[in-house]
Chain A
Amino acid sequence: MSLLEIENLTRNFGGVTAVANMSFQVNTGEIVAFIGPNGAGKTTLFNLITGLIKPDYGTIKFKNIDITGKVPEKIAALGINRTFQNLQLFNGMTVVENVMVGAHRHGKQGLLQAGFSFPGVAKEERFILAKAMEKLELVGLTDKKDIPVEILPYGQQRLLEIARAMAMEPKMLLLDEPAAGLNQGETDILGDLICKLPKMGMTILLVEHNMDLIMRISHHIVVLDHGSKLFEGNPGEVQNDAKVIAAYLGEEIV
């Protein structure tokens, strides 16, 4: 069953077409990777899906609901969450608080209830904390929970962003270059983590430059070039396609 359907999606910036007439589908439980040279439109695609920018043309359907042009918080409410290529952690807050923000949507109590400290508030807070701790455990940051995020090493900040996004328990998780700046050991841990996510009910969209990682974990690969879909298929097919090799993989793989 297709979870995400994208049809004829187009977005221009000034005279530059960042995403051109793109169509593809993502099935539930898949890990789908998007690859392509810089400027191929990968991050723009993520920004379009999460509502940070609006498309000029085309539709995005999630769980058969048209989410084209909706505001980010509405799209997130439907169960889409993401991480960022340039980390967007909440500085000035601790590790666990960051993840608790990710679990924001598990709460219902509003501003006034919180201000007057209604009985439900403390209970809800414990629930959110439990959710957050659960996710921290998954990425192995339990013992860092009270550290300010700014002083966390870079690799762990990347893992923390994933934990934060997972805390919402989204149906679909978009990871924008999660392995950027990680060493080999950290990348392996990341790969294992991502592989576990579909079993937890998450469909994964992945933008990444690390080919080894992509070939190891993804079920399906979409190759982008100049904002258009060049090719799509499973890792084996992608590695053997002449067009892809010419556009992107180059001598590295061959």
Chain B
Amino acid sequence: MPLGNELLQYLLTGLTLGGIYALIALGFVTIYTVTGHINFTQGEFVMLGALTSISMIKLGLPMWLAITVAVAIVGIFGAAFERVVIYPARNSSVVTIIIITIGFSVAIRGVALLLWGTQSYPMQPFSSGPPINILGAIMNRQSIWVLLLSIVVVITLFIFFERTVMGKALKACAINRLAASLMGISPQKMSLFCFSLCASIGALAGIFITPITTATYDMGLMLGLKGFVAAVLGGLTNTTGAILGGFLLGILEAMGAGLISSGYKDAISFLILLLVLLNRPEGLLGKPERDRV
């Protein structure tokens, strides 16, 4: 294959990966801006979405219904997680919250292992048919679904934040929690809603990627970390940054895997992260934070 085609192929693969990373990164960024917490459980929402939908399909539900039910279940789960785990610890230090969310993700992974075992579960692509040939590079039909999903989610979120009362309330919380609560917006309710929303987005991401990668109980770990990397690349407080960070990470990773070594692809993405953090600790699109005295 000529180099041009090869690069195009990596680009397409990278876009698919990037779409997923962007969705997970959105979860990190939304929760961080609204509540100030980094939620290391985000990756497990992805896994739960994928495996729950597979179980629903096995129960005989049609695919669209199985997906809807799975997303709803994970959304409720996210809300419960906020109430039971995050809410009691909301005034703890950053380190404590990091440890708590990591600990809970360990527990969720354990439960998943118990429920689904170690095998990997395949899922039917959403639409059948041969892969699409774009200028000599091949793209799965499912990859197009993934890209569509990321576009739809981004647009929906945009409309939600800009056009609805709830979205504006969330945005107000993100800008200034204290001022928002003085305006009668309850930051606690917002936090609850926000966790539920981000869990649902994570679940969708997991479901859409499963036909490509299959689903296992431990898929959330790496996906979660990559989503976090993407979020930080983009600036952690910036929705646009998270989406760009996701696609950037996906493309660089695909290029690295193809051109350098697939074994080192994760090392490459973390190396890029380190380089960005060293030169721009506030991320590519973030604003520098200042210590106040």
Q: Which residues of A contact B (CB under 8 A)?
A: 43, 47, 52, 84-86, 88
Across the interface, name the chain B residue whose C-beta is closest to A52. B293
State A47–B293 Cα separation when bound (angstroms): 8
State A85–B292 Cα separation when bound (angstroms): 11
Annotate B250-293 by CB proximity to A: 1 below 8 A, 0 otherwise. Answer: 00000000000000000000000000000000000000000101
State A43–B292 Cα separation when bound (angstroms): 11
CB proximity of A116 to chain B, nearest CB, Å = 29
Across the interface, name the chain A residue whose C-beta is closest to B290. A53
- Residues on B with C-beta less than 8 A from A47 are 293
Q: Which residues of B contact A (CB under 8 A)?
A: 291, 293
In order of increasing CB-CB distance, the 7 nearest A-B pairs are A47-B293, A52-B293, A84-B293, A43-B293, A86-B293, A85-B293, A52-B291
State A127–B129 Cα separation when bound (angstroms): 81
- Residues on A with C-beta less than 8 A from B293 are 43, 47, 52, 84-86, 88
Across the interface, name the chain A residue whose C-beta is closest to B292. A86
- Residues on A with C-beta less than 8 A from B291 are 52
Inter-chain CB contacts under 8 Å: number: 8
Across the interface, name the chain B residue whose C-beta is closest to A13. B290
State A191–B182 Cα separation when bound (angstroms): 39
Across the interface, name the chain A residue whose C-beta is closest to B291. A52
State A93–B291 Cα separation when bound (angstroms): 22
State A86–B293 Cα separation when bound (angstroms): 7
CB proximity of A105 to chain B, nearest CB, Å = 21
Across the interface, name the chain B residue whose C-beta is closest to A50. B293
- Residues on B with C-beta less than 8 A from A52 are 291, 293
CB proximity of B73 to chain A, nearest CB, Å = 43
CB proximity of A242 to chain B, nearest CB, Å = 34
State A52–B293 Cα separation when bound (angstroms): 9
Task: Given A52-B291, A84-B293, A88-B293, output 5 extra A-B contacts at Cβ < 8 Å.
Answer: A43-B293, A47-B293, A52-B293, A85-B293, A86-B293
CB proximity of A175 to chain B, nearest CB, Å = 14
CB proximity of A14 to chain B, nearest CB, Å = 11
State A52–B290 Cα separation when bound (angstroms): 10
CB proximity of B183 to chain A, nearest CB, Å = 24
- Residues on B with C-beta less than 8 A from A88 are 293
8 A-B contacts (beta carbon < 8 Å): A43-B293, A47-B293, A52-B291, A52-B293, A84-B293, A85-B293, A86-B293, A88-B293
Across the interface, name the chain B residue whose C-beta is closest to A46. B293
CB proximity of A1 to chain B, nearest CB, Å = 30
State A172–B164 Cα separation when bound (angstroms): 56
State A52–B291 Cα separation when bound (angstroms): 9
CB proximity of B174 to chain A, nearest CB, Å = 20
Across the interface, name the chain B residue whose C-beta is closest to A82. B293
CB proximity of A90 to chain B, nearest CB, Å = 15
- Residues on B with C-beta less than 8 A from A43 are 293
- Residues on B with C-beta less than 8 A from A85 are 293
- Residues on B with C-beta less than 8 A from A86 are 293
CB proximity of B159 to chain A, nearest CB, Å = 30
State A85–B293 Cα separation when bound (angstroms): 8
CB proximity of B92 to chain A, nearest CB, Å = 15
State A86–B292 Cα separation when bound (angstroms): 10
CB proximity of A209 to chain B, nearest CB, Å = 17
State A253–B175 Cα separation when bound (angstroms): 41
State A135–B85 Cα separation when bound (angstroms): 46
State A52–B292 Cα separation when bound (angstroms): 10
State A118–B268 Cα separation when bound (angstroms): 44
CB proximity of A3 to chain B, nearest CB, Å = 23
State A84–B291 Cα separation when bound (angstroms): 14
CB proximity of A139 to chain B, nearest CB, Å = 22
CB proximity of A146 to chain B, nearest CB, Å = 25
State A88–B291 Cα separation when bound (angstroms): 13
State A88–B292 Cα separation when bound (angstroms): 11
CB proximity of B175 to chain A, nearest CB, Å = 16
CB proximity of A73 to chain B, nearest CB, Å = 15
State A202–B48 Cα separation when bound (angstroms): 64
CB proximity of B178 to chain A, nearest CB, Å = 16
State A29–B94 Cα separation when bound (angstroms): 44
Across the interface, name the chain B residue whose C-beta is closest to A53. B290
Residue among A43, A52, A84 with most chain B CB within 10 A: A52
- Residues on B with C-beta less than 8 A from A84 are 293
State A98–B284 Cα separation when bound (angstroms): 39
CB proximity of B118 to chain A, nearest CB, Å = 44
CB proximity of B97 to chain A, nearest CB, Å = 19
